[in-house]
Structure 1
Amino acid sequence: MPKPPTTPAKTKKKPKAQPKSKFSIKALLIVIVVFLLLVFGVLWASLFKNYPVEGKKQVLVISSGDTYSKFIDHLAKENKVNFPIILKIYQKFMIHDSLKAGVYEINKGMSVRQVLDMLSDAENAQMNRILVIEGTTFKQLINNLKKDSNVTKTILDLPQDQLLKELDIPYSHPEGLFAPDTYFFAKGETDKKILTDLYHRQMKSLDEAWASKAANLPYNDKYEALIMASIIEKETSLDRELEQVSGVFVRRLKIGMRLQTDPTVIYGMGDRYTGNITRNDLRTPTAYNTYTINGLPPTPIALPSKKAIEAAMHPDDSKNIYFVATGNGGHKFSASLAEHNRAVQDYLSVLRSKKNQGE
């Protein structure tokens, strides 16, 4: 009997292994997505975060010399921004200009990125920053206003007497009459308004100081005190020395001794001054040369600060009538000529030592 045909045994098929490439691609995609989410999160928390504003609007003042790096560090220190390094990288590669001084108006809802972008263009500033440095002259003030494109010029080119008349100023010379400080005016403000404000500010400081002045000062009026304040301003840049310098000059006036102060000589030389004073300059008479005239010069020689005005009204009560630079910052004050001469020799010795050391 024939055998039934045999069927081959069924073999189990092994499941096909998934290609490794599919797993690696999937994992790579996950890593990329996670990375992008992290980058997006960091950018959102840094650049696209709302700039912190109190109320609906806030004024932001950027001073001359400020940098993006310092500005960002300041914001980070006050916990106003996150990831400051991201902000610095953005600024380096995306903002191709420096931080511009001015007063900016920040609206609620603006992002940090928008603020950073805005600060690179002075045209975005809402107000114009005007810096008047103590000890500079009226001529320098006028020249700076002429160069400022945000100031509307109406009287700057007038002769001094006409300019003073336009400003309703009762003095015949403008020097010293305008207060040094940092000011913020609307962009496009007129030179007349700016100078008027500076004048009234200076007169207020002078009136207040005159009202509380020390007794027995050798000034005939407050204008002479303003002249003295301008000399004090030019003689020292150290606040702690203002009253000492004032004391020296006040005592000289009282005893009839000439002031003999170089800044007055320089002012009297005008454009002839090129950076050095010679013995011949000290001997050449001018209305301002206090080596050749008695008493005060006819007008201030610079724009004195409020501190200098106060010092002119409140000299120290020492017996010093001399002072000379130390060569290391500040001055040495002396009551006798012998002591002063020693201080002069010490000063010259310091200069020689620095020269030998190549400083």
Structure 2
Amino acid sequence: MIKKIIVGLILFIAVAAGSFWFVNGQVNQYLNQPLLIDSSQLVTVDSGTNLKEVLKDLTQRNWISSSPYARIVDRFRPDLTDIKAGTYDFKPDETLGKILALLVSGKEHQFSITFIEGSRFSEWMKQLEDTPYIEHTLKGMSEADIAAKLGIKEKDLEGLFLPQTYNYTAGTTDLEILRRAHKALFKHLDELWKDRQKDLPIKTPYDALILASLIEKETAIESERITIASVFVNRLNKHMRLQTDPTVIYGMGSAYHGNITKKDLRTPTPYNTYIIRGLPPTPIAMAGLASIKAALHPGESPYYYFVASGTGGHVFSKTLTQHNIAVRAYLRKLRSNK
């Protein structure tokens, strides 16, 4: 009798073990199926979504094949049950198991937004507003209000952020991206300011940003930045007006329509460096690191003037007479190109 019981128990265990391994194999086969998608798909998983809801959603999208074993995945793979909310990038040929592991890891898709050197704060705000997967919290707010939220003492935010590429996950606020850009700028600026060239005619890091913004707007040619910086520094040291057109344009605001007239050059604004002496009151654009470095390390040059060459760069001059000759050459170049 005992022998029969033992034999029966062994058979039961064998059948149970066989059934377990069979079901486990079916579950694994279900999890090893590739997603039926042709291209990457962004999927947002809401807070509180569980494993069964994810599997149901993928089945309804026809991205996976249904299986009677789907309902017991959690029993065999409890490591795949802690689904985290977020927006994820599902790629073709990834298996269901890898997708579920991704949702458990919480490694959301990284979006990116790129701000270019020389852009204005108003352009940043429009770009943030038009960029998907960002939570927009600043619409209708003034610069002063935004500055207060960021803890920035200046009420004009021009030039106070570092133009570069920023990665973010879905739901990141526009304010958080601006906060990161502001911190990134001053992390570099603080280091560069400590190592600045001696005897510069600028007194504060904010002055450096103003000067850097003028350099940024005058040239995109790397090799010219330091020379243009030296021209501005030479003029500041001689108490000469900077007379740089981008400041006039900035001061004109919405009145600028593509051309500067003699009247514009004579019209007073806080930014018209043909009239005011020294730097304008604020930066006129977001300066990149190269322009900031040039502002703080302009080196030395004998130049006090520059004008566009008409071929992409600038012609630098030591004297007003030389400069006027270069200006006439530039105007002839313009006329010949019409």
Tell me the equivalent position of 1:153.
136
Tell me the equivalent position of 1:243.
226
Deviation sequence 1:42-72 (CA, Å, 0-9, x none): xxxxxx9xxxxxxxxxxxxxxxxxxxxxxxx
Q: Name which of 178, 193, 198 aligns with 1:210.
A: 193
Letter in 2 for 1:330: G
CA distance in 2, matches of 1:156, 1:127: 24
Deviation sequence 1:190-240 (CA, Å, 0-9, x none): 111111000001111211211111010001211011100001000001011
* Unaligned stretches of 5+ residues in structure 1: 1-47, 49-102, 112-124
Tell me the equivalent position of 2:115.
132
1:298 aligns with 2:278: no
What TM-score comes out, normalization by structure 2 length? Answer: 0.68
* Unaligned stretches of 5+ residues in structure 2: 1-33, 35-86, 96-107
Displacement of 1:275: 1.0
CA contact (8 A) 1:290 1:296 kept: yes
Which segments of structure 1 move beyond 3 Å, counting only runs of 4 or more?
103-111
Displacement of 1:106: 7.0
1:110 aligns with 2:110: no
Tell me the equivalent position of 1:59.
none
CA contact (8 A) 2:138 2:146 kept: yes
CA distance in 2, matches of 1:308, 1:187: 32
Identity %: 46
Q: Name which of 244, 247, 253 aligns with 1:270.
A: 253
CA distance in 2, matches of 1:106, 1:251: 57
Deviation sequence 1:179-200 (CA, Å, 0-9, x none): 1011211122111111100000
CA distance in 1, matches of 2:145, 2:337: 50
Displacement of 1:326: 0.6
1:323 aligns with 2:306: yes
CA distance in 2, matches of 1:107, 1:354: 51
Displacement of 1:108: 9.8
**Equivalences, count:** 241
Displacement of 1:172: 2.3
Tell me the equivalent position of 2:295.
312
Structural RMSD (CA): 2.0
Letter in 2 for 1:244: T
Tell me the equivalent position of 1:27.
none
Letter in 2 for 1:172: K
Residue range with higher mean Cα deviation, 126-135 or 214-223: 126-135
CA contact (8 A) 2:166 2:177 kept: no
Displacement of 1:349: 2.1
1:289 aligns with 2:272: yes
Structure 1 residues 286 and 179: alpha-carbon distance in aligned structure 2, compared to 1, 3 A threshold? same
Tell me the equivalent position of 1:165.
148
Letter in 2 for 1:246: A
CA distance in 2, matches of 1:338, 1:292: 21
What TM-score comes out, normalization by structure 1 length? Answer: 0.64
Displacement of 1:109: 5.5
1:87-126 to 2 correspondences below 5 Å: 105=89, 110=94, 126=109
SS at match of 1:348: helix
CA contact (8 A) 1:288 1:297 kept: yes
SS at match of 2:146: helix
Tell me the equivalent position of 1:12.
none
Letter in 2 for 1:335: K
CA contact (8 A) 1:231 1:264 kept: yes
Tell me the equivalent position of 1:347.
330
Structure 1 residues 108 and 351: alpha-carbon distance in aligned structure 2, compared to 1, 3 A threshold? closer
Tell me the equivalent position of 2:164.
181
CA distance in 1, matches of 2:335, 2:157: 41
Higher Cα Rg, which structure: 1
Displacement of 1:105: 5.0
Letter in 2 for 1:225: A
CA contact (8 A) 1:156 1:163 kept: no
SS at match of 2:316: strand
SS at match of 1:184: strand
1:335 aligns with 2:318: yes
Tell me the equivalent position of 2:84.
none
CA distance in 1, matches of 2:148, 2:335: 51
CA contact (8 A) 1:176 1:303 kept: yes
SS at match of 1:207: helix
Deviation sequence 1:121-156 (CA, Å, 0-9, x none): xxxx92222110110100110111112231101224
Letter in 2 for 1:215: K
Displacement of 1:107: 6.3
Tell me the equivalent position of 2:58.
none
SS at match of 2:307: strand
CA contact (8 A) 1:205 1:309 kept: no
Structure 1 residues 295 and 142: alpha-carbon distance in aligned structure 2, compared to 1, 3 A threshold? same
CA contact (8 A) 1:156 1:191 kept: no
